[in-house]
Amino acid sequence: MKPLVAQLGDKVHQITDATQKPPAWCKDFVYKAVPRALHILKTTERLDVITSVLKWFNLVGAEPPTNKRIIKQSGGVSVYIDLIIADITDIKADVIVNSVGKEKDLSSGKLSKALLDRAGDGLQESLSSTKVALGELAPGEVAVTPGYKLRCREVYHCCLPQYTKEKKGLSDLSCVVSRCLNLASSSKHTSIAVPALGCGGLKYSPDEVIATIVTEILRCAFLPENEDDEKGCTKRARSKNVKIVVQPDDSDVKEAFIEYFNEYNKPRGDRSIKKYPQAPHCDKREVHLAVACPKTWHETESEYTEISLPSNSYEFCEISDRLKKDLPNSQILEILRIQNKSLYIQFEFQKRRSQKNIQSGRELVQTLWHGTERHVIDQITSNNFNRSFAGKNGTAHGHGCYFSTTASYSDSYSRKRSQTAEKFMILADVITGNYCEGNQGHKTIPDGYHSLVNKVYQPTIFVVFNDCSAYPSYVIKYR
């Protein structure tokens, strides 16, 4: 039988076009022979063969093998930090971290360009549409986009300053890592891939980068329960699987990172890891998580804006037709588009958290009606729906916020003070996701569900229990 390296060489030559689906034998070979063979190849620096093999991992849905690992356990919490020598576009994780300039141009950096090429143009479009101060990302800020064609749910785009001899930039690096971990934790992600941030055109020292990244991972992971720190890490980071990814052709970075892992895994007394001054704490006001707002929104610096829709606009006509389908005798006086950036960001992150385990055939978000009194409208559009008021109009299907698929049902809750007074109704985006039938005894939602309904087959009433599970998109004033 040929040695593994010889087998690997034979198999490499059998694939002439890496863009085609590999032969049937490839998956078994990847899982059984490749990890061991790659370990041997790395010692001989056969990067050409390694690169070809890593493409197979992506084609067959496998994961590039871990090169080194740090395991830290304390207080019942285990954290795994894996060092992986591979193309980051081949990595499978809930989150991939990217480094981007303040102009948010993904084509200007080696790392971001590679992610853009793999993900598609949607990645740049989403990042460009994120609402940030002055239209640019500031050092230490993070913008979030979907992963598109990458093997991840989300991409965290972070901005770092140029490195200087005064070590300016390590503070921002420290804060960025903490913020990414905290954001991943709050979104219930369990794995995150972090590249060698700053080691390219920004000229950060690989030795300092790996020490800073590992230090922040462990610090965030083992914060005492319920403790919040100045860098934005809240409680213990739930991202217990952190993948630090180094490109195979980055020899200096690869050498520094491998050396750090080797030293860290030695007994504490035998370690010779360089000590770097701890980066100063971040000001919480620097934390900015950018989310792409709807394309229909008007550009504005204000956090809250009400836009009166022109009666001949597509938005106005679409909403008007939907309302009059259920209330044909109604007269629409005005439709306001609600642009509340803070509420929308909360809704978007709640939506992303809810994407996991969605049942087949279920819509994650539906646009539903909510009828209420005039004096409550401003409270909802400014501060969101409040389920603490549950019970005012009944709790037949649970103690939560009620929404309907029909305007005629919600109209009965849009009370008017006289025959000529206006009525008000909200058209909201609601996370309905997985649902089950509710009853008066439901004060919380059962595990695995996002909403309760009046009937499972063709429901017309939805009840949600998280105030961030709905966003008040429009307010309709009508008679």
The model's pLDDT over 117-171, given as tens digits with 9 standing for 90+, comes to 999 888 888 888 776 544 677 888 888 888 888 988 889 999 898 887 665 668 8
DSSP code, position 11: H
**What is the per-residue pLDDT across 411-447, written as a single tens digit (0 to 9) for each?**
988 876 556 678 999 999 999 999 999 887 777 888 8
Question: Beta-strand (E) ranges in 256-378?
Answer: 289-290, 304-308, 332-340, 365-371
What tokens does 291 get? 């989310």
What CATH homologous superfamily does 63-290 map to? Leucine Aminopeptidase, subunit E, domain 1 (3.40.220.10)
pLDDT for 55 equals 54
Q: Do domains 63-290 and 304-478 have the same CATH topology?
A: no
Question: How far are the Cα atoms of 194, 236, 277, 404 from residue 281, in angstroms, in the given order?
Answer: 21, 18, 12, 47
User: Taking the mean position of all CA atoms in its chain, how far away is CA 386?
Assistant: 25
pLDDT for 78 equals 79
Sheet holding 95-99, edge to edge: 68-74, 77-85, 241-246, 191-195, 95-99, 154-158, 142-146, 289-290
Contact 114, 89 (CB under 8 A): yes
State the CATH architecture for 304-478: Alpha-Beta Complex (3.90)
The single residue listed with the structure tokens 């597509």 is 314
User: Taking the mean position of all CA atoms in its chain, how far away is CA 7?
Assistant: 40
- Supply the mean pLDDT for the chain: 77
Quick check: helix, strand or coil at residue 279?
Answer: coil
What's the half-sphere exposure (Cβ side, CA atoms, 13 Å) at 100?
A: 30
Question: Dmax over Cα atoms in the chain, in whole Å?
Answer: 92
**DSSP states of 183-228:** HHHHTT--EEEEE-TTSSTT---HHHHHHHHHHHHHHHHTSPTT-B
Quick check: helix, strand or coil at residue 123?
Answer: helix
Q: Which residues are registered as beta bridge partners of 308?
A: 336
Residue from 255, 275, 259, 279 nearest 167 by CA:
279
Which letter, b or e, does each residue of 63-73 get, where b requires 16 or more Cβ atoms within 10 Å of its Cβ? bbbebbebebe
What tokens does 332 get? 């629409």
The single residue listed with the structure tokens 């209420």 is 372
**What is the per-residue pLDDT across 14-38, written as a single tens digit (0 to 9) for each?**
543 444 444 444 544 544 455 555 5
Asked if pLDDT for residue 190 goes beyond 80, the answer is yes
pTM (two decimals): 0.56
Question: Beta-strand (E) ranges in 130-185?
Answer: 142-146, 154-158
Q: Where are the domains of the chain?
A: 4-51, 63-290, 304-478
Residue from 200, 199, 250 nearest 87 by CA:
250
